[in-house]
Homo-oligomer: A and B are copies of this chain.
C-alpha cells in the first residue's frame, strides 16, 4: 500500500468537502487541519505560527501553501478567521463549543472578556433563516471601555 493510495481510502469531512468541488486532499492540507485539531478549539494561530509548528514537527509545508490552505479551510467552514488587535489574522478550529463565544473588548487596552448569550445565538439563527443562509457561527463583539481605562 503506497502513501498516496491511503488518501483515497480515508473518508473525512475535509476529503469529502474537497472532492465534491474538484479539489484534492493533500498531505499538506491534512497536516494543517490536524495541527488545529491537536491544539484544540479555542486556541488560535497565525499563518506564521502554523508554519513554525509544522517545521518543528518535521512536517515542512511552505508558507505560501499555508496561506492558501488557511483561506481554503475558512471557506469550507472548518476554521474561523479572527481579527485580533495586532499582527494580522489568526485562525482557530470551528466547533460547536466555540460557536457561541462572544467578546467584550476594551478599545483602549485591548482587555477582552468572554461571555455567552442564548439571545445572541438565537438572533443569528433567525437572521440566517430569514435570508436563506446556512448558519455556521455567530459572534458578538462588544466594544467598550474597561474600568481601568475610563
Q: Any chain B CB within 8 A of the CB of A108?
A: yes
In the complex, the answer to whether B138 meets A142 with C-beta atoms within 8 Å is: yes
Chain A interface residue number, banded = 35 or more
Q: Are B140 and A144 in contact (CB under 8 A)?
A: no
- Of A31-39, A52-60, A74-82, the one contacting chain B is A74-82
Q: How many copies does the complex hold?
A: 2
The verdict on A123 contacting B127 (CB below 8 Å), with A133-B145, A145-B134 known, is: no
Contacts of A136 in B (CB 8 A): 107, 143-145
Interface residues of A (CB under 8 A from B): 74-75, 77, 80, 83, 102, 104, 106-108, 113, 115, 117, 119-120, 122-124, 127-128, 130-147, 150
